[in-house]
Amino acid sequence: MNEIKSPRLIHTQAGRAIELPSDFELPAQFDQPEAEISVVRAGDQLIIRARPKDAAAAPKTFREVLDRMESIDVEWPDVDEGLLPLDDIKL
């Protein structure tokens, strides 16, 4: 499954483009404008990751992440049990 091919590197005024071989064609869902491709540099390697259309709708803020999480129903232990009472401090 880990095929190695030599894609064509194209130099343009805007930068460089990689022309992928036809057998590396992505599924049709990646032809949508909302689909994204990410590139990660790992040492001397470039890793290209395709993100499908629904992955582009990933949460953008931490608040959105929290809103999508399911609440957990856990009985937490009483960490204050056995502690002395607080002093009544008057300012």
Tens of pLDDT, residue by residue over 19-69, are 888 787 776 666 666 667 788 899 998 888 877 656 556 778 899 889 888
Of 7-11, 14-18, 19-23, 78-82, the poorest mean pLDDT is in: 19-23
Number of Cβ within a 10 Å radius of residue 66:
9
Provide the pLDDT for residue 88: 79
DSSP 53: G
DSSP 61: S
3-state SS class at 45: strand
Of 5-9, 13-17, 43-47, the poorest mean pLDDT is in: 5-9
Nearest CA-CA partner of 36 in 20, 19, 53 = 53
